[in-house]
Amino acid sequence: MITISKDGKIITLHTASTTYQMAVGPYDYLLHVYYGPRVESDMSYIISYVDRSHSPNPYEADYNKTFSLDTLPQEYPCYGNGDFRNHAVRIQNHDQSYGICLKYKSAKVLDGKYSLPGMPAVYANEKAQTLEVILEDAVSNLEVTLLYGVMEECDVITRAVKIRNRSSVSVRLEKAASCSFDMLYGSYDLICFHGRHGMERIPERDSVTKGKRVLESRRGTSSHHMNPFFILAQEETTETHGECYGFSLLYSGNFKAEVEQDQVGLIRCMMGLHDECFSWKLQPGEEFTTPEAAMSYSREGLEKLSHNYHRLIRHHVCRGPYKTTRRPVLINNWEATYFDFTGEKILNIAKQAAELGVEMLVLDDGWFGKRNGEKAGLGDWYVNEEKLGGTLAELSEGIHTMGMKFGLWIEPEMVNEDSDLYRAHPDWAFTIPRRKPNRGRYQLVLDFSRKEVVDYIFEQISFVGERSGVDYIKMDMNRNLTDIYSVGAQQQNQGVILHKYVLGVYDFLERMLARFPDILIEGCSGGGGRFDAGMLYYTPQIWCSDNTDAIDRTRIQHGTSFGYPISAVGSHVSAVPNHQTGRITNIQTRAVVAMAGSFGYELDLNLITDDEKELVKAQIKDYIRYWDMIQNGSYYRLTDPQVNREIAAWAFVAEDRSEALLNVVTLDAHCNAPIQYVRLRGLDPQAVYSMEGTEKKYSGAALMYAGIQVPELGGQYQAWQVRFYVER
C-alpha cells in the first residue's frame, strides 16, 4: 500500500511487514526517511539538520548552514549539487558542464506494477501498486521519474528510473543508478557473492567501514566474478535473527553496486548499470530507462530475506509453462562426449537413460557447422548431418520415439573466425578499428547491439528449432566482452553499446519465447557466468556452474541460494573422477546434491555399474516424488559449508509444512568423531512427523529445537537424504 500525506510531503510504501518512507524536505529536495519494519507514522523527525564544516549549502538555503545535501539522506542523489558522497545520476549538460539539481515536482500512485519495455521487470499477478515520483532540474529541463513497485506479499520494493530530456538541446547521461538508499546510522556488514569460473557466488562478509566499496562487473555480462546481488546485514544478523537488506539487479550486463559510509556513519548504497564506458546521448524529447532493482528487508535474518527473493523470482520474475510445473529430468551429453559424438552415440546414451527413467535428452555443443572442437563453427547454425548421420529432425524423432523430450544447445551471441558467418560478415563481431580483437575460447562476440545481427541469428536458430521439434533450449555464452566498438552506432555514440548489447540479448530471448512458447529455455554462460534475476525473466533456470563436483557444488549452491530460488539452479549428476576436480564421490551423494536444483544427469549411463543403474532409477523416482517440495517449497540452509567443514546440510519444506526433505553430505571424516546434529526449521512445531522408511516419529518442535543426529554415514563425501511427513 502506498500513501501520500495530506500535505503531500510524506510518501510511504508499505509491504506486508516493511515500510519505506521518503519526505519532501526543505526547498523541495526529496529526502529518504526510513526503510525497515512496518511503522504507520511520519518518521521525518529522524532527519537532523546539522552544520558541518566543509559541507556546502545550496544557494536557496540562504545563509542556513544547517542545510546541506552533503549530510542529508536522499532518495536519488545527483552529481554536482554539493553532495560529495556517491551520486546516483551524473549528467553532462549541453554546455559541457557537469551537474544537475533535482527537486521534487509531483507524485502519483498507480494500480498494478509498472513494466519496463524491452527489459526484464518484476510483474504482479496479485495486489501491487506503483509509485511514480517526478523530480526535475529546472535549469536543464531534465525530468527524472523514480518508479517504485510495491510487492506486498514478498516484502519487496522494486525500483527503476526514467530520465527524460525536456529541453531543446541534447545532454549526455553518464551515470544512472537504478536505486539508491541511505541509512542514517548503524553497524552493518556487506555480504557479496564473488567467484570465478567453476566456483561462482561464494558469500563473503565484511564490515562496512568508512570509504567506498564497489562490487561490479565490467565484463559485459553479470559475470562469474561478482553477482549483481548483495546484502547489508547488521553485524549481529545470522541466518535466523537480525536485520538485513537485499539488493538484486534484474540485469545481465555490466553493473556497479556501491556501498559507502560517510564522515558521520551514514551508509549510502546504490546499484545499477556500470558507468564505465557508458555515455547515453539524450536528444530533446528522448528518455532513458534504467534496469530494475529489487530491494527487500528482513528482521528475521538472512533466511527470511532469501525466502522473499525466492518467492519474488519464482512467482513474479520467471515466466512460461515451466514456472511452477515440474521440469523434465534430463540427460546432457556434454561431459559424456564433449565434441566427440555421432547421432548413433547420442541415441545410445538416450536409450540407456530412457530405460532408467530420464525424460529428456539435451544435445549439447557440436551439432552444427564444422563444430568438432572449440575453434570452428560458431555462427553457422545449420545442422552437421554428416556428423549426426542424418537430419536433426530424425535424431529428435528417434529421441521422441523413446518417450523422451529433446533439447538443443545454442550459443547465439558468438562466432568463430573459422565460420561461414564470420567470412561473410567480419564486421558483425566486436572489433576496434585498426586493432585485432581479443579472442576468448577462440571465439569473438557478435554485435548484438545491431538489430540486423540479432535478426539473422534469430532466424537461423529458430529455423533449426522449428524443424527439429525441440522441447528445450540451453542458451550458452562462453566468453566476456572486449573490443567494444559497433560499426552500427554513430562514431560519437559508442558509450551506448554495452547496454544495447544486453537489450539485443533480451530481444533475442523475447522473440524465442514468442516463437516457442511451450519450450523451456535454460540459461548458461560457461556455467553460472550470467546468473542474475534479469536472465531468469527469460530462462527460468540457469546452469549453475561448469563445476559438477558434488562437494564444490554444496558451496556453490549454498551461495547461490541467498538471492535465487532452487528452481533457478540447473544441477546434474556427472561421472567420477569428476572432470573438474578429480574427486570421487558416490552416485548417491552426487544425486542428493544435484536434487538441490533442476535435476539431471551429465554422463554416459551405459558406463555405470548395474547397481548404480538401480540407484539412478530410484533417484529419478525420488526426485519426481519430491519435486514440488524442492521446486515450490521453502529452502533452508542448515549449515554454512564455508564455516562447518564437517557436514553440509539443507532442507526443503513443503508450503503447507506437511513434509520436509533433509539432506546432509559429509565433507570431512575423522577417527572417533563427535556426533553431528542438525536442527530443521520451518516445520509445524505441533505436528508429528514420521521419518520415512522407519517407525520413528518426532514432533516438529523436537526436530527444530532439539535437532536430530546425523547417522554414521561411513566417512567422507557420503550423503543422507530423509523425508519427514505428517501422516494424514
Q: Which residues bind ligand DGJ (CB under 6 A)?
A: 334, 364-365, 409, 476, 478, 524, 526-527, 543, 546
Distance between CA 69 and CA 64 in Å, rounded?
A: 12
CB 324, min distance to ligand DGJ, A? 25
Q: How many CA atoms, within 13 angstroms, populate the side-chain half-sphere of residue 423?
A: 6
CB nearer ligand DGJ, residue 143 or residue 364? 364
CB 458, min distance to ligand DGJ, A? 20
Torsional sign, CA 13, 14, 20, 21: positive
Known active-site residue 532? yes
Distance between CA 304 and CA 156 in Å, rounded?
A: 12
Beta carbons of 46 and 4 less than 8 angstroms apart: no
Beta carbons of 172 and 188 less than 8 angstroms apart: no
CB nearer ligand DGJ, residue 198 or residue 495? 198
Count of residues making up the chain: 728
CA 667 to chain centre: 27
CB 525, min distance to ligand DGJ, A? 7
Distance between CA 561 and CA 129 in Å, rounded?
A: 28
CB 457, min distance to ligand DGJ, A? 17
Beta carbons of 439 and 431 less than 8 angstroms apart: no
Distance between CA 238 and CA 659 in Å, rounded?
A: 25
Count the helix, strand and coil residues of the chain and give each as a percent rounded to the nearest 5: 25, 35, 45
Distance between CA 494 and CA 481 in Å, rounded?
A: 14
What is the torsion angle, in degrees rounded to the nearest 10, for the CA atoms of residue 510, residue 512, residue 514 and residue 520?
A: -100
Q: Cell numbers 549530510 label which residue?
A: 71
Q: Which amino acid is at 451?
A: K
| H or E element at residue 387 | helix 385-388
Looking at the DSSP bridge assignments, the partners of residue 602 are 574
CB 527, min distance to ligand DGJ, A? 5
CB nearer ligand DGJ, residue 334 or residue 537? 334
CB 338, min distance to ligand DGJ, A? 8
Query: CA 410, 120, 327: angle at the middle one, nearest 5?
Result: 55
CB nearer ligand DGJ, residue 281 or residue 579? 579
CB nearer ligand DGJ, residue 143 or residue 335? 335
CB nearer ligand DGJ, residue 262 or residue 365? 365
In the bound complex, which residue of the shown chain has the CB atom lying closest to ligand DGJ?
365
Cis? peptide before 577, omega within 30° of 0: yes
Known active-site residue 292? no
Catalytic residue (one of 420, 612, 628, 646): 612
Beta carbons of 522 and 472 less than 8 angstroms apart: yes
CB 470, min distance to ligand DGJ, A? 15
- What DSSP designation does 141 have? T
Strands 541-543 and 443-445: unpaired
CB nearer ligand DGJ, residue 504 or residue 526? 526
CB 404, min distance to ligand DGJ, A? 19
CB nearer ligand DGJ, residue 509 or residue 524? 524
Catalytic residue (one of 532, 546, 552, 604): 532
| H or E element at residue 178 | strand 171-183
CB nearer ligand DGJ, residue 409 or residue 562? 409
CB 319, min distance to ligand DGJ, A? 23
- What DSSP designation does 704 have? I
Report, as residue numbers or ranges, the catalytic residues.
532, 612
